[in-house]
Structure 1
Amino acid sequence: MKTIYTKAVLTLLLVAAFAMGCKKSDLTTVNPNAQTTQTFWQNSSDAVKGINAVYGSLIIDGSYMRFSPIVENTRGDDATSYSPWDQIYNMGKFNMQSTGDGVLFSWTAYYQGILRANEVLKYVPAINMDAELKKRVLGQAYFLRGLYYFHLADFYKNVPMPLVPAASSADYFQKQQPQDVVWAQVISDFKAAEGMLPTTYTGLSPDGQIGRATKGAAAAYLGKTYLFTKKYAEAAAEFKSVIDMGLYSLVPNYYDNFFANNENNAESIFEVQFSRDAGGTDLGWGGDPSSGWGRTSARAITFGAASFGFTDVQPTPALYNEYLQEKTTSGGTDPRLDVTMYYNKPGEKLYNQDFATRYAGSSSLNALFCHKYENGDSGQADEYDWRSGINERLMRYADVLLMYAECLNELGTTNDAYQYIQMVRNRVGLPNLATVKPGMSQAEMREQIGHERFLEFSLEGHRFDDIRRWGWLQDATKLAWLKARDPEFNTYTPGKEYLPIPLTEVQTNVGLVQNTGY
């Protein structure tokens, strides 16, 4: 957290030095041009501005603008990296160094968001404003703080956990907390959010509510946190509550979940809002936030196909082959394959150019490239799409259905899991699982759910979380299987399932201990 608070420390030191040379009358003079926490939090408009700033941490470099999708995707067996930049290339090979930007970026982004959420939670309660609006603002702050701590526990394991803004310089150096303590705080925050947030913002003031956290989002993430901590009964109850809301459904076309044509649809429970038409036009690639930054994503350019992007992340052959294991009821290929990746098939086009013609005579002709979250279908002239406006879908209803099925299986009601898995399979025309694989045991259903999740959520950042929480890295047979599918697992060693804590933080804060293996 040193990185976040450095400017605040310098400001305090400068103020102190200035004060020592001032007369008493000078010290009581308020600078009308300098806004402070004491002068900012005055009314409902300030409260809304404050919570909007907490959302802002979702769209910066270390978060979903670029690096969180890199961290989440490269370590699974659905994605690989041949990037020339070691900060991406080494991420999926479990070889990150504590000195790297790739480790620091996400740490900084999420603690920035936590600092902002803590300020909302401290100062908004004292504002005289509409009670329902205040409740919604605080509910969103709890949700976003829970989400940011979820990512920190998921990426780094044991982390500092400030819950209030720093009152003095001593507060900058928070003691590291065990992962289970952080998970407990995440659960607490999502619970608070669930009780305070509306199911929908339709008809609520102020306008512009699309993208805000809802009760359904809080319940879904609370269930996910319970699932990650193996509290299956509690997780099942939360997922069932989302299902019973009747607000969400699977969109008929799987494609509509990953492109700009149908954002914030009936399947989307929470998504990060990007736009080519909002904010400035500058690119927010690291550094201090600037008012000129756009509200755009770098995912399209980072994951983009050869000669259309940087090709820092690509689908694996294992993913391609697994899509071919089962035919649809009409005898076709699983349609999720073509939505997920570009490859050399008859008629394949990207940016209105023929795949085979564009890559003729090059190694790219037989390569696999990411399709999800890419602008290659848009036909726009700018092939190198540095400024993508495609929203990142963090929680889909399909995920709730499959997580609920997993809970049912773990609770010993395996037969009840079939119907929820089949809802996801039906959309892409796969046969009835209860017919093709009836009466599966609990262990067999675990394997089936692994397969279903692999294909439904490929390149969406879920696969490595699944691998780790299922204990596959500690299972010699499963680890050997992963190594055979994805050679990047050959460089995995125990402890490397988590990122190292940034070295600058360890050197500055005596309360931090580096993660095992680094």
Structure 2
Amino acid sequence: MKKLNIFILFLSASILFSCDHLLDQVNPNLPTVDDHWNNADQAFAGATALYNALITDGAYMRTLVGAADSRGDDFKGDSPDVRIVQIGKFIAQSDQDMLSWIWRDMYILNFRANQVLTYVEGMSAEGEQRILEPAQKNRILGQAYFMRALAYFNLANNFQVVPLITALPQTEADYYPETATQDEIWAQIISDLQMAESLLPLDYLSVSGPDNGHIGRATAGAAAGLLGKVYVYRQMWTEAKGQFEKFFTGAYKDIYDLAPEYAHNFDEAHENNVESLFEVQFTTVGGTDHNWAGDPNANWKALSGLAVSYAMPDRGWSDYTPTTWIHQEYKKERTADGKLDPRLKITLASYEAEGEDDWNLAYGNPWFHDQDAVYCSKWTGNRIGYSDDWTLDISGGINYRVLRFADILLLYAETLNELGQTADAYPYIQRVRTRAGLADLATTMPGLSQDQMREQLYHERALEFAIEGQRIFDIIRWGWLYDSSMLEELKARDDDFETWVPGREYLPIPRTELDNNPNLSPNDANRASGN
């Protein structure tokens, strides 16, 4: 089967709120609207261009994910690059360029989605040319709705309030959009995901067109799962329950399941497996130019920068390090046969004096001589035998899993608990625990109250999704930062929280954007830091 080809060159543009008359200039080296969007091939190319926007530094290649991970209690900045440390400590200033990369790349994704929605919507299946068949048009539009929702999901989670741009600019005033409210942004995300779910296919194995057989494109299941997650983030519990039930009794019942082994979600050999609802496609094959930033070109690679950024010293940049707390959290409960939770070794590189460490010895890891050291293993080449992570052409091909079925299971369990159906939550949690070899929770901890089940879910999510860009958003939605006792607990787990002040859970809106757009309002993080 074919993976999604993400090397197609296509018209791209970024949101530049400072543009004036330069916007009227035509680049002779790029296609224009007048000579593009005229046939089916160009429509399909437009859909493919959406995926290119996911593999740059400010997106899933590195910075978007790193900025989220470092703000959690499971991971922290530990880099000579002070920018990375500042983000993890909640003290990044608005003029920090890494924040601009995230903003830039999410709005590039949004702009491309708006292009597709504008121009493909006008294409017809009628007449002599029959430009697009209805099913083809639907799934192209569905991918654009999904990607626009994903862009705003990331923007809202990271920047709190941002401009909501759902159409291409028509007048000069359109280049200076106002800040939308949180309710407006999340309502648009929900609407876009509902549209995406209704338009997208279950898969691309039997579709007709150049995307036939493409693995990695957005599907109805991906949209449905992300929509359920959005409902949870907005505490819309009744809507979340109905959405998640589709995965157990509805349209997606027989499509998704847990992968046989936890490790299969973090290597190249098992990409796009049965657990994956959506993942960003990275590969070491093809291209000559690294894809750090800028417009894609025919020579672009599609490499992940997480391998070198998250790798241990002497094998990469070692920009981040796991906290002692998450290391010990994995040891709170043994498997049913008395061993360590197998997720520990997949997530962390640590010395364990229990005869379970042979996999580390095989590669002569330099940290082995320091039995107290704990480093990141997930997303790096450490666990799968690469000699180092410096060479992205070797270690940068691991896909980033944006949404896994394990998340659906635990979010559904959380939803049931919040609706007072605590007893019904047990089986969905247990499916995740069983893969990890842990005992039946209904036997070891029967009859949990709603509050006790919340505590258990906090623990289960920490172990299942450590270093997957989720923890800080769980912490925010659970209200821990504004609960004095939980804030003290967070400080004990990770001293980065010592420098958090209200509002700084979000990234400040980049100063360049505030300076260039007079209609853009600062967010709570800007106000908290006075910049």
Structure 2 length-normalised TM:
0.90
Q: Give the SS at the match of 2:16.
A: helix
AA partner of residue 433 (structure 1) = L
Alignment of 1:130-279 (within 5 A): 130-205=133-208, 206=210, 207-244=212-249, 245=252, 246-278=254-286
Q: 2:493 aligns with which of 478, 485, 488?
A: 485
* C-alpha displacement of 1:239: 1.1
Alignment of 1:22-421 (within 5 A): 35-127=31-123, 128-205=131-208, 206=210, 207-244=212-249, 245=252, 246-278=254-286, 280-345=287-352, 347-349=357-359, 352-355=362-365, 358-359=366-367, 365-381=371-387, 383-387=389-393, 388-421=396-429
Q: Separation in 1 of the partners of 2:138 and 2:351?
A: 52
AA partner of residue 63 (structure 1) = A
Q: Is the contact between residue 352 and residue 377 of structure 1 (CA under 8 Å) also seen in structure 2?
A: no
Which structure: greater helix fraction?
A: 1
1:444-484 Cα shifts (integer Å, max 9, x gaps):
11110000000000001111111110000000000001111
Q: Separation in 2 of the partners of 1:65 and 1:461?
A: 12
Q: Give the SS at the match of 2:269.
A: helix
Relative to structure 1, is the Cα distance of residues 506 and 8 closer, same or farther in structure 2, using a 3 angstrom cutoff? Answer: closer
Q: Separation in 2 of the partners of 1:158 and 1:243?
A: 34
Relative to structure 1, is the Cα distance of residues 294 and 208 closer, same or farther in structure 2, using a 3 angstrom cutoff? Answer: farther
Aligned identity (percent) is 43
Q: Is the contact between residue 18 and residue 516 of structure 2 (CA under 8 Å) also seen in structure 1?
A: no
AA partner of residue 153 (structure 2) = F
Q: Separation in 2 of the partners of 1:472 and 1:412?
A: 21
* C-alpha displacement of 1:292: 2.8
Q: Give the SS at the match of 2:466.
A: coil
Stretch of structure 1 that moved more, 286-295 or 34-43: 286-295
Q: Give the SS at the match of 2:410.
A: helix
Q: Is the contact between residue 346 and residue 383 of structure 2 (CA under 8 Å) also seen in structure 1?
A: no
Q: Separation in 1 of the partners of 2:206 and 2:360?
A: 40
Q: Does 1:465 align with 2:483?
A: no
AA partner of residue 183 (structure 2) = D
1:178-200 Cα shifts (integer Å, max 9, x gaps):
11110000000000001111112
Question: CA RMSD, aligned part only?
Answer: 1.9
Equivalent residue for 1:4?
Answer: 15
* C-alpha displacement of 1:68: 1.1
Relative to structure 1, is the Cα distance of residues 162 and 306 closer, same or farther in structure 2, using a 3 angstrom cutoff? Answer: same
Relative to structure 1, is the Cα distance of residues 445 and 380 closer, same or farther in structure 2, using a 3 angstrom cutoff? Answer: closer
Unaligned segments of structure 2, at least 5 residues: 1-12, 124-130
Q: Is the contact between residue 351 and residue 383 of structure 1 (CA under 8 Å) also seen in structure 2?
A: no
Alignment of 1:439-518 (within 5 A): 439-516=447-524, 517-518=528-529
Q: Is the contact between residue 425 and residue 431 of structure 1 (CA under 8 Å) also seen in structure 2?
A: yes
1:247-280 Cα shifts (integer Å, max 9, x gaps):
00111111101111100000001000001114x2
1:139-180 Cα shifts (integer Å, max 9, x gaps):
110011001011101000110011011113321111000111
Q: Is the contact between residue 193 and residue 224 of structure 2 (CA under 8 Å) also seen in structure 1?
A: yes
* C-alpha displacement of 1:44: 1.0
Q: Is the contact between residue 178 and residue 521 of structure 2 (CA under 8 Å) also seen in structure 1?
A: no
AA partner of residue 226 (structure 1) = Y
* C-alpha displacement of 1:35: 2.4
Q: Is the contact between residue 95 and residue 491 of structure 1 (CA under 8 Å) also seen in structure 2?
A: yes
Structure 1 length-normalised TM:
0.92
